[in-house]
Each structure stands twice: as C-alpha cells, then as structure tokens.
Chains A and B, each alone.
Chain A
C-alpha cells in the first residue's frame, strides 16, 4: 500500500487523478527563487514558453537572457555568469541541452565548478508526437557520468518544485529532468524531498520484489504494485528522484533479503537509473534485476500513452518484468 508517512496523493488511483506537467513545477519554483534571491538568472535558447520560464521573463526581465537557438553558447554564457556570483538556470530541451552542448557543460560548468543548473525539458517518450528527434532518452546517462554534476529526476509537479528549489539553494552544477505532457500528481506539498535520499512510496507485506522507478514512470510502477497486490504479489516501490547524489546504504537496505529488482524509467536502459542501481547492487548486494526502459532503440511519433505501451514502459511492461523475475 501507499506509504502513509509520505503524505502522497490520496486520489492517485482514481481515474480523475489530477495531472500537471513537471515543467510547470520548474517554472513556478523559479518565480519563487527569483523573488528570494536577486542573483538568480535565467537563460533560454529560444524556448521560453515551452520550458515555462516565460513568467520569470515577465517578472524579472533584467535577469532573463534569451540566447537564441544556440545551446552551446547558452552554456558558456551561463558559466561566465556562474563564476561571478550569479546562480544560473538554463532552460532548453534535453536533446539539445545536455545533448548538443555536452562538452561545453563538461568543461565550462562541471570542471569549472560554475553555479549553473541545466534544466532538460521534454525528456523521454512523453514528448510524444514530436518523434524521436525530440525525445531525450539518453540524458541521464550523459549527465550522471560527469564529475561534480548532481542529477535530479522528479516524479511529478510537486517534486519538480522541490528539486528546482534545492538546485536554487545550493551552489554548483545540477541537471534537472522534466517532461512535457501532463502527468499524474503523485505527491503533495508535504511529501518530503531530501537530496540523496530515495523513499519507498509503496510498501508491500513481505515483498518479493523491489521496483525502482524514476520520473513520471513512478506512477505506472505504483499502478503495477496495486494490480500485483490484487494478484497476490507483494512488491515495494521506490521513487528514485535523486540519481546523483544517491545514498547507497538506503538502496542496499531496501533490497537486502529480497534480492529481486525491477528498474523502470523513460530512458535508455544503457547508462540510465537502472544501470546505476545495478552498479550499486552488483557491488554491495548482488540481485537479479530486470530493466524496463528503451532497449537500445529510438522512440517515434505517437501519443504518450501509445508510446509507453508500445515500448513497454507502462504498468503492463513493469508487471511483465516482475512476473518474469519471479518465475525464474
């Protein structure tokens, strides 16, 4: 059942569950940060509206710079501001930033220890009809391998506000991952977020398997857990919003004695959150692991629901992986 201690959305399993895009949480948090801290500066590469920084532009025009369709330069400019007392948020699509400008991020932001936050919007298949060119499914891999880079992947609107605020309160390079489509609101304002910690959102009775999920896929993992319960299969579900840093002890503790794990994400299996979990478990708590994600292939155009079904990253795909794991 849902973890009662976390103040999660009680209507989560209703058909009428409220849906808000995570990018809205980013935009709303920036407004608040801008009010509190006059050194917060926002940059975009011609995507002010769709990355939800339009309101910041209107409210703080002096601290907003549109770099045009030029993601490499945007990052260099951010680095310049970010080593001279400004705390900079850069807003673009994840395929372009950190996709197109990866080396600039590595050199001028991370290695240079500049106070720059990279917001990667339209991540994953959820970018839907635009097709694979605009569906970033490699961005977690690209950012988590960079030293000094923190990587946060919020599950819903409220958590997006919290990760954005966290990045706005702490010096240094961050990557924040957001999606375009409206996704279910899983948490509430009161749900805790502590960078480095990843909480158990669904607690099974004598669980046979632990599901780790990141981003909005957490919703499908929770739906899967609910369905599995009705089938007599108990699981735990962990929200992995803090990809880096990650408290390894917590992950190991969750898995100890169960040792059967499913990792689910809207991202390539290679290099993603599941890769990270398997790196940890192979070292500290060897377990059998099934991966739900893109299997070395690109997405395509379609509605979000059609896509996650076709690529088996929805609750049905997760249930399939759990059953496969338990049959072995």
Chain B
C-alpha cells in the first residue's frame, strides 16, 4: 500500500522540486537578503507536501478540514512561498515582493498577512508547540486532519522544543508529525560543532515518539514516509529527513556559509544553469 506512488508521479514531483529551486533562487536574488541553503535542501519536502501529501484547496486556504503544514524554522519560508505560489495560493508574480515594503510575503512567515501559512514563526522552537495545540484542537473537534511541523536541526538547540516533545508524547498525538530538516548546518557552523545533536532518532524514541531516519531529498521515500506516519497510532511521529543544504547547486551544497545569505546575480546565473541541466537529466531518466 505504501508503494503506490507511480513513476510518473515521482517524475512530476522531481520536476516540481526543480521548479521550486529555480524560483527560490530567482526570488532570493530579487529580495536581496534571506537564506539560501535551507530552502534549496527543503525543496523536495515542499514539492511532495504541496503536490502530493497535503489535503488542501489553494483556492480555499481556510477550509477547516485541511491538513496543517507548520513551518517552525521560519527563515526557510522562501521555499514555502514558492511552493504555495506554484500550487495556486497566490500569483507567481507576487514572489517578487518577498521582503519588500507592503508585501504579504514577510521575511519570516506571518499568519495573518497571507492565507495558508497556519502560524507566525521565525523565533525558533515554537512550531511543535503550536502543532500540539492544533492537534489537540483537532481531537477536541473530532477532526481527522493531520498536522505536519517542519523544523530545523539547529533549532533543536532550543529548550522549548524539548518541552513540546514531552507534551506531544503525553497526549499521544498520533495526528502530529514533526519533520526535521537534518542538514547539519546552522548559522555559526556545523551542528555537531556548534552544539552536538547526536542521534535525534534515539532521542525522540526515548521521549516516546515513533521516529525514522529518511532521505529528505528522495521524492519516493518522502511520499511514502508522509503517508506512513498517518497510520501510526497512540504516539506522535518524527521523520528525521537528511537533506543536503543547497541541494541542486554544486557550489552551495553542504557549505554553511550559504545558510544565511542570498545569491548575487552572477551566482544566481550559475545556479540556475545547473538546475536547468538537472531538469534535462530527469527528462532523460524517465
């Protein structure tokens, strides 16, 4: 049952990922500030979420039975804006306004500015708690939608995250899934040198969660994992998605210096050329 994603759908989602990456680079270039590596690494997760996993209607973002997707590490929001625009939440043209005055696309996501965002985030460590609140509310209202919370790995330095992890287990929130963008970088360097996180799977398991390590840049595995966690009972779940920061652009990959800056024009040109080459590769593979 879990293998029912077709090759055709995988190809479609891989192409969407590339489109998301290209638009993210273009959007960041126009914005002139923002984070690059995280959004590129997360592109596959957002492609699968918006174009496969989520029950949602972009034309009706407040539909009360929609699945909730929370972005806890708000600094990666450009990739979410791009995925939202591509799936029809707002015109692609609006991406140009990212981080500009009077824009709905704030530098960090603001719920009341743009329908479909679910939370306001940026200050780290607050997404899982909000996810718990939404998941508890769903149980109170007998709703069966699922709550997905995307977090960063460096974000797990925050103490309040661990407060939330305890509470998620206490209330057996099987309608809650945390996805950790395990890209091993944070602003000051590699996560294991800034503040070692070690084995997050073991840590979550010891807190009473269902936990799995997955390849966060593998479309098929992501789609299957996002479906699988919905079948877990009596405990919340976490997917430690190992991603490559800057994925798709050779000179950005795995370099923490790309965590917190946008590309300049020359860099964007090289990046886009590379991403377009990858597009041809997908075409020839299928």
Contacts and interface: CB of A to CB of B under 8 A. Distances in A.
Interface of A: 41, 62-63, 65, 67-68, 70, 72-86, 88, 103-104, 107-108, 111-113
A65 B136 CA distance: 9
Contacts of B121: 107
Contacts of B112: 112-113
Contacts of A82: 133
Contacts of A70: 160, 163, 166-167
A84 B136 CA distance: 10
A86 B140 contact: yes
A76 B137 contact: no
A68 B122 CA distance: 25
Contacts of A80: 119, 129-137
Contacts, number: 105
A76 B133 contact: yes
A62 B166 contact: no
A112 B111 contact: yes
Interface string B161-200: 0011011001100000000000000000000000000000
Interface string B122-149: 1101111111111111101100000000
A104 B123 contact: yes
A62 B140 contact: yes
B97 interface: no
Nearest to A85: B137
B120 interface: yes
A113 B117 CA distance: 13
B30 interface: no
19 contacts: A65-B171, A67-B163, A67-B167, A72-B129, A76-B127, A76-B160, A77-B130, A77-B164, A79-B126, A79-B129, A80-B130, A80-B132, A80-B136, A83-B111, A83-B119, A104-B126, A107-B122, A107-B126, A113-B111
Given A76-B160, A79-B133, A111-B110, 16 more contacts: A67-B163, A68-B167, A68-B170, A79-B129, A80-B130, A80-B131, A80-B137, A83-B118, A83-B119, A85-B141, A86-B137, A88-B133, A104-B123, A104-B126, A107-B121, A107-B126
A10 B146 CA distance: 57
Contact of B133 (A63, A78, A103, A111): A78
B155 to A, nearest CB: 13
Interface in B95-126: 110-112, 118-123, 125-126
A175 B244 CA distance: 43
A77 B111 contact: no
Contacts of B135: 80
